[in-house]
Chain A
Amino acid sequence: MRMHDLPDARGHFGPYGGVFVAETLTHALELLLAAYAQARRDPAFEAEFRYDLKHYVGRPSPVYHAKRWSQMLGGAQIYLKREDLNHTGAHKINNTIGQALLARRMGKPRVIAETGAGMHGVATATVAARYGMQCVVYMGSEDIKRQAQNVYRMKLLGASVVPVESGSRTLKDALNEAMRDWVTNVDNTFYIIGTVAGPHPYPMMVRDFQSVIGEECKQQMPELAGRQPDAVIACVGGGSNAMGIFYPYIDFEGVRLIGVEAAGEGLATGRHAASLCAGKPGVLHGNRTYLLQDANGQIIETHSVSAGLDYPGVGPEHAWLKDAGRAEYVAVTDADALRAFSDLCHYEGIIPALESAHAVAYAAQIAPAMAKDRILLVNLSGRGDKDMHTVAERAGLRL
């Protein structure tokens, strides 16, 4: 089986992925898998999805040659895939449209979601409004404090935001709580997972919906740069924007795939969110993957300046790409991400999301040592409007 053809029928990417859920959800996941398989074969579904991506999201998103910044770095040419220009400000909407259309086909009037930074929550609330569905978003109470603006956006869009008070009160706990809701309301509810994690078919399905990012790049790079890039770089929390841009390039052997995790205050400090760089395989949230855990197998709290990367697991396909050696995974600290954030503001007039700034920062690290005709393609997965408070606070300012 080619790497491109994974997962297998039961959702495994090598030893990773799978369906590690309580029995109550087994049947719901079987129904979801069947509905998704059927939708994929239906040209009407594909047409609906493409229509909304074009007219509602504003796709294709451009690829932009960051010339001034590349020149400043003095090495490889850096191109940015502008997912930040999508409706709602990030790549998340690609997936929520796909899943909401599927929910509608399955006759589910209610959608639920988990969110960390709030971007997936906003994207879910947005499509729920668009398709007339009831929407409940679970969000850790710690994250609610950090991301007040996104909470208000979700409410404006008609969603209820439920604070989660269990565990570390962050994204992983929101995911637990959404799963509990789903188990309880499985008959009328569709769970829109925001990343390439969770039980099969979610990692595959979210990847497929997000693959539009890489598919567009495959067309755009030859048009703009005359060829495909030497490396594709994307930040990895759960890993959906990275899978979306990596997947169409998996079969391009000459293209390096580089995932950038959050090193927080530094991998050595233990205060980070780099599951692939510093974790061990285990089982959480319905799949087997790399996890940040202690010796007893308890999931440990993560740290990153960007709430969207603050997750102790990672999508199982990334775990597999790492073990298979097809993708490389590195980590960038809060400080480096903030420096890249500020550089992109100053040199290119683009305010990136702090998540995306991690990918930008790694490009800035490797570009100077590369020849000027080398090409790095960075997925600018979201815009930084939501991060104004965090960045200002770091600079000792109050807005």
Chain B
Amino acid sequence: MSRIQARFEALRKAKRKALIPYITAGDPTPALTVPLMRALVEAGSDILELGVPFSDPMADGPVNQRSSERALKHGVGLGDVLGMVRDFRHQNSQTPLVLMGYANPIEATGVEKFVREAKAAGVDGVIVVDYPPEECVEFAKLAQQAGIDPIFLLAPTSTDQRIQEVARAGSGYLYYVSLRGVTGAGHIDLADVAAHIPKIRAATRLPIGVGFGIRDAESARRVAQTADAVVIGSRIIQEIEDAGADQAVARVKALLRPIREALDA
């Protein structure tokens, strides 16, 4: 059983919902990434999503774009990100870790080499924003053979047939993008989420995470009423940007704690 599957299994038994934070590797500095990851775990996160910086993050709003640009100023590449994963794994062998990013850095590394090295570093899942299932059949197969879950996105615009196709292609969990727009674009439409989750649930036995637009304990709690996991990205990145390097770790912990409590209440 994969680390992601085991974690969802344990949560289900405990009747708890997963908290999945996202940060960009290398933001605000490469040295802070592993301390931030540990802080996220200490604040009650169940799975971590670690962003691989990219020069052209088409699906991201301004907050995540700036985050990518800060990381790129430090020259952080995919190889460096895997180094951070290895460092994190020295002290944490339990928390599932998902890389999230765009296709080109992976293709520049080479798909086979990436899968091999990601597995060796301790990566459990991969979300490639611009790899829909039909464009990455080979990649998804290689990843699954290596024990890495290819995690795919669903959107409010996904048709019923599409939901079926995507559900069949992925493993680990399904990631429902809760708004029409880029990351951090606005506020979540809770009615839309409540309407869509049952449709997705009907097509899959995979856990369902919801992200894009969750900004506080209340929206997290409401989403968790129907979803299995709550993904928070831009709101954390914003906190890191506002806090600066000195305060980032403490501020991120303080941000997540009430959200964790709301999910458990």
Q: Name A residues whose Cβ lies closer than 8 Å to a Cβ of B.
A: 10, 18-28, 166-167, 172-173, 176, 179-180, 183-187, 280-286, 291, 293, 295-300
Contact = CB atoms under 8 A, between A and B. Distances in A.
B105 A298 contact: yes
B103 A283 contact: yes
B56 A176 contact: yes
Given A176-B58, A295-B77, A297-B78, A23 B104 contact: no
B166 interface: yes
Q: Which 4 A-B pairs have the closest CB atoms?
A: A297-B108, A296-B77, A297-B105, A184-B181
B56 A24 contact: no
Contacts of B56: 167, 172-173, 176, 284-285, 299
A19 to B, nearest CB: 6
B129 A22 contact: yes
A298 B108 CA distance: 9
Contact of B54 (A28, A187, A298): A298
A19 B135 contact: yes
26 contacts: A19-B134, A19-B135, A21-B58, A21-B130, A22-B153, A23-B153, A23-B157, A23-B166, A26-B158, A27-B159, A28-B157, A167-B65, A172-B56, A180-B59, A180-B182, A183-B180, A184-B180, A281-B107, A283-B102, A283-B130, A286-B130, A293-B108, A296-B105, A297-B108, A298-B72, A299-B55
B26 to A, nearest CB: 11
B158 A22 contact: no
A268 B151 CA distance: 41
Contact of B104 (A10, A166, A167, A284): A284
A28 B72 CA distance: 32
B147 to A, nearest CB: 24
B156 interface: yes
Contact of B55 (A167, A283, A295): A167
A291 B93 CA distance: 38
B35 interface: no
B175 to A, nearest CB: 9
Contacts of A282: 103-104, 107-108
Contacts of A180: 58-59, 61, 181-182
B155 interface: yes
A286 B132 CA distance: 10
B205 interface: no
A10 B181 contact: no
A184 B185 contact: yes
A183 B162 contact: no
Contacts of B109: 297
A26 B133 CA distance: 11
Contacts of B157: 23-28, 186
A24 B177 contact: yes
Given A22-B130, A186-B180, A299-B56, 20 more contacts: A19-B132, A20-B132, A23-B158, A23-B177, A24-B177, A24-B180, A166-B69, A167-B65, A167-B69, A176-B57, A180-B58, A180-B61, A180-B182, A186-B157, A283-B104, A283-B130, A284-B56, A284-B104, A293-B108, A297-B106
Contact of A183 (B62, B132, B182): B182
Given A22-B58, A166-B65, A184-B181, A299 B134 contact: no
B138 to A, nearest CB: 11
A280 B156 CA distance: 35
Nearest to B185: A184
A303 to B, nearest CB: 16
A20 B107 CA distance: 13
A136 to B, nearest CB: 15
A286 B102 CA distance: 11
A316 to B, nearest CB: 13
Interface in B116-141: 129-132, 134-135
B59 A22 contact: yes
A284 B108 CA distance: 12
A23 B107 contact: no
Nearest to B57: A176
B134 A10 contact: yes
B55 to A, nearest CB: 4
A369 to B, nearest CB: 39
B173 interface: no
Contacts of B129: 22
B158 A27 contact: yes
B156 A293 contact: no
A283 B107 contact: yes
A187 B103 CA distance: 26
Nearest to A301: B55
B8 interface: no
A299 B104 contact: yes
Nearest to A31: B157
Nearest to A298: B55
A32 B104 CA distance: 25
Nearest to A10: B134
B263 interface: no
Interface in B15-55: 54-55
